[in-house]
Structure 1
Amino acid sequence: AASSPSSSSAIVVASSSSKSKSKAALAFVKRRTRSEREFDEEYMKKYGDEDSHIPVMLGEVMDVFDSSSSSFRLRSFVDCTLGAAGHSCAIIQAHPELQTYIGLDVDPVAHEEAQSRINNMLNSTPACSSTNLKAHMLLKNFKEIKQAIGQVDEKLLLSGVDGILMDLGMSSMQVDDPRRGFSMLNNGPLDMRMDPKGSLKAEDILNSWPPTEVGKILQEYGEESNWYSLQNKIVKARLGGGFHTTGDLVDLIRGSTSRVKGGRQGWIKTAARVFQALRIAVNDELKTLENSLYNCFDCLSPGGRLAVISFHSLEDRIVKQTFLNIINNIPRKDDTIIEEGGFGAEPKEFNYYPGEKEVWIKQVVKGSSGVILTKRPITATPKEEKLNSRCRSAKLRVIQKM
C-alpha cells in the first residue's frame, strides 16, 4: 500500500532520531578508554564465584598495582570494599613483597565471608604462608580508613600505604538476598542498609520524609525524569498503609509507568533509578564517598596509588572532580583552610607518565600534589561485559601521590 504523507513524515523523523542516537552512542564510546588488556576468563574465575560475586576488571586492577613494570612497590595495601575478597586474594597472591594487608567492609555478612576466604588462602597456599604478611580484616566503613590504619599500625599511618582500592559496586550476595531489600525483582523488607546498625531504612524515607525531600532524592540521586509524579503517588500511597516491602514499591512503579514508553523494560529502568536513589540516601553514599577519597589520598605514601571503580554517573563525577581537586590542593567542602596557591590552579597535561611507561597508562593529568593516571576512565573489555553484565557501567580511575 502507498504511504500517506503523515506516515512518510513519521519514517523521516524515526530515521533522524535513529541517527541522532547512533551519533550519541558513538560519542559516548569515544569518551571512554576501553581496556586493551586481554581478558582472561579462567583467571577471573579463579578469584570469583559466579554464585556470589565476580571481581570486576580484575586484570586491570592488577595492572595498576603491578610492581614489575615500574618503580612502584606494594608493601602495604588496603582494600576499602572487601566484598567477597576477589580483588584482595589476587593482590595478595601476586605480591610476595606485601607486608601489611588491611581489608575493610561495613557489611558483616561480606566481612565474615571475606575473612574466611583470605584466611583459608593464607593457610593453604605455600607462597602466602612463607611470607611475612600480616593480614587484618576489620568491620569498618571506608570513611574510617585513617582509624583503621592507625588501629593496625600507627607508624604506617605516618609513612603511608602503597596501594588502596575502592570497588564501589554492590556484590551479588547483597543484591540477591531479598532480606537486604536491595533487589527490585525479589520481594523483601524495604531496608537497603549496608550497615545493619544504621538507623535509617528505605521504608522510613518512603513513609515519613517530607514530600519535597522524597522528590529531591528521586531527582538528584536517581536522575529520574518522572520524579514529581512519583513523589505525589508515594505520598498518596501513605494514606493506604504506606510501604513495607520492596514489592509494595515495585507495584507502585509498575502502575505508574506508561506501557507506551517501553512496557516491562520501561518500569524496570524506572525501578532501578528509584532503588538507586533510596540506597544512596539510606547510606549517605555520595557525601561519604567524597570525604573518603580525601581520606584515602591522605593515607597514601609518596608514590602510592588509589584506584576507584565506580558504577553510575553520580559516583564517577564525584571521583573525577575530587581527584582534580586533590592534585590541585583544593580542600574538601568542609575544610576551612586553603593552601596558598592551591585553589584554582590549572593542572598540567601530559601524554605520557613521567617515568617508566606502563602500557595501561594513556594520558595523565598532573597537579602539584599528585598525578591522575587516567585522564579518561578505563572501562571493561567487551569479553568481560559479555560474561558479567554488571561490569558494563564500571569505570576505573587511578590517582598517584607525588
Structure 2
Amino acid sequence: MTGETAHVPVLLDRVLALFEPALADRDAVLVDATLGLGGHADALLSAFPRLRLIGLDRDPDALARSAERLARHGGRAEFVHAVYDRIPEVLADRGLSRVDGLLFDLGVSSMQLDRTERGFAYARDAPLDMRMDPTAGPTAADVLNTYPAGELTRILRDYGEERFAARIAKAIVSEREREPFERSERLVKLLYDAVPAATRRTGGHPAKRTFQALRIEVNGELGVLRAAIPAALAALAVGGRIVVESYQSLEDRVVKQGFAELAKSRTPQGLPVELPGHGPQLKLLTRGAEKAGETEIEQNPRAASVRLRAAERIGEVAR
C-alpha cells in the first residue's frame, strides 16, 4: 500500500463516539473543516447514514482525492475549496445557519507529508514550498529569502519555540547573501550546523522546530485558527458537537482558550443563582486534552503528538 492509501485517521473510534449523540438516527449536517484524504469523513458517513457532510480543504489535490474516496456515499458529501476560517461564508452560501457537528484535524496532512515535492518533510530533499494550497501565496523559500533577520527570529521563536532563533536567523541571512535558498537539504545542513551539538543529541532533529515555524508562517495557520474557532462555535446548533485534533502546543492553546471562554458562566461572582442567559454556552466533553494510546501510536506513529478536545453546545452563543 502507498502512504496515501494506508492513511489511518487519528483517534477514529474516539471521534465517532464523541459525535454519536449529535449525529445518530437523525438528519444532521457536519462540517469537516480539514478534509484531507477523507479518512474521518468516510467513517462518519458510514456510521451515520442520514448524515450530510460538507468537506473543506485548502488543497485542491486533497479535495480531488477525497472526492474519489467518498464517491460511494453519493450526494451526501460535498467538497469545498476553502480555508476553514471561511466556515460562515460556506454555510451561508448553502442556506445554513447552524450545523450539528464540526471536525478539525489540524496541521499538515499525511498526503502532504508523504509527497516529497511539497517540501514539508525535512528528512527528504525537496523544493522549499510548504504551501497547503500550492496555487496561492508565498513559499517557504520566499520567507527565507526576503524576511529581515528580526522577522525570521520572531517566527522561529513564536511558531517553532526555537531556543536558538536569533542564531539561526543570522545564519540564514548570511547564507542567502551567497545564494538564495531553494531546496530543503541546504536549509537542514545550515540548521544542523547552527544548533549546538549538545542540543542536537537531546533535543530531537534540529530542523523540526524551524520547519514547523516556516509552515505555520507560510499558511497563516494560527491566525486562521484564531478566527475559525469562534466562527465555528457560533455556527454550532444547540446539542451539536465540535471535535478538534491538534498536533502542537500552539494550536492546542488556541482551541483550549476558545472553548474555555464559552464554557464559563457570565453571571457575576457572588450571586446565589445563575442569571438567565448568562450560563455556560459550551459543555466540555474531555478532561483536558486527550492523547492516543500506546497501541495506536505503535500502529500509526503520527498519532504520538495528537491532543484532542471536544465540546457540546448547550446554550446560545453570542453572534
* TM-score exceeds 0.5: yes
Check 1:83–1:367 CA distance in 2 against 1; reply closer, same or farther (3 A cut): farther
1:135 equivalent to 2:77? Answer yes
Secondary structure at the residue paired with 2:126? Answer: coil
Per the alignment, residue 42 of structure 2 pairs with 89
Check 1:110–1:303 CA distance in 2 against 1; reply closer, same or farther (3 A cut): same
1:103 equivalent to 2:48? Answer no
TM superposition shift of 1:229: 0.9
Per the alignment, residue 278 of structure 1 pairs with 214
In structure 1, runs of 5+ residues without a counterpart are 1-44, 124-132, 330-340, 347-365
Secondary structure at the residue paired with 2:205? Answer: helix
TM superposition shift of 1:115: 0.7
In structure 2, runs of 5+ residues without a counterpart are 271-277, 315-319
The sequence identity of aligned pairs, in percent, is: 36
Secondary structure at the residue paired with 1:270? Answer: coil
Question: Aligned AA for 1:283?
Answer: N
Distance 2:25 2:248 in 1: 30
Distance 1:374 1:260 in 2: 38
Secondary structure at the residue paired with 2:239? Answer: strand
Secondary structure at the residue paired with 1:379? Answer: coil
Secondary structure at the residue paired with 2:160? Answer: coil
Secondary structure at the residue paired with 1:197? Answer: coil
Contact 2:4 2:114 in 1 (8 A): no
Contact 1:67 1:73 in 2 (8 A): no
TM superposition shift of 1:50: 6.2
Distance 1:108 1:297 in 2: 26
Distance 2:130 2:185 in 1: 14
Distance 2:258 2:279 in 1: 13
Check 1:116–1:51 CA distance in 2 against 1; reply closer, same or farther (3 A cut): closer
1:293 equivalent to 2:229? Answer yes
Check 1:232–1:202 CA distance in 2 against 1; reply closer, same or farther (3 A cut): same
Per the alignment, residue 258 of structure 1 pairs with 196
Distance 2:93 2:27 in 1: 20
1:394 equivalent to 2:314? Answer no
Per the alignment, residue 118 of structure 1 pairs with 70
Question: Aligned AA for 2:46?
Answer: Q
Q: How does 1:28-67 map to 2 (within 5 A)?
A: 51=5, 53-67=7-21
Check 1:228–1:345 CA distance in 2 against 1; reply closer, same or farther (3 A cut): farther
Q: How does 1:190-229 map to 2 (within 5 A)?
A: 190-229=128-167
TM superposition shift of 1:310: 0.2
User: TM-score, normalised to structure 1's length?
Assistant: 0.71
Secondary structure at the residue paired with 1:66? Answer: helix
Distance 1:262 1:210 in 2: 26
The structure 1 segments of at least 4 consecutive aligned residues displaced by more than 6 Å after TM superposition are none
Distance 1:97 1:185 in 2: 43
Question: Aligned AA for 1:397?
Answer: R
TM superposition shift of 1:87: 0.4
Check 1:206–1:345 CA distance in 2 against 1; reply closer, same or farther (3 A cut): farther
TM superposition shift of 1:52: 5.3
Check 1:198–1:188 CA distance in 2 against 1; reply closer, same or farther (3 A cut): same
Contact 1:76 1:162 in 2 (8 A): yes
Per the alignment, residue 259 of structure 2 pairs with 323
Secondary structure at the residue paired with 1:301? Answer: strand
**Residue number among 242, 250, 256 corresponding to 1:314 in the alignment:** 250
Q: More deviation in 249-258 or 315-324?
A: 249-258
Aligned length: 307
Contact 1:52 1:171 in 2 (8 A): no
Per the alignment, residue 274 of structure 2 pairs with none
Question: Aligned AA for 1:392?
Answer: A
1:150-171 per-residue CA deviation (whole Å, 9 max, x = no partner) reads 223x1x22xx111110000322
Check 1:67–1:96 CA distance in 2 against 1; reply closer, same or farther (3 A cut): farther
1:336-369 per-residue CA deviation (whole Å, 9 max, x = no partner) reads xxxxx57x989xxxxxxxxxxxxxxxxxxx9521
Secondary structure at the residue paired with 2:311? Answer: strand
Question: Aligned AA for 1:90?
Answer: A
Question: Aligned AA for 1:307?
Answer: V
TM superposition shift of 1:83: 0.7
User: TM-score, normalised to structure 2's length?
Assistant: 0.89
Distance 2:90 2:223 in 1: 20
TM superposition shift of 1:218: 0.5
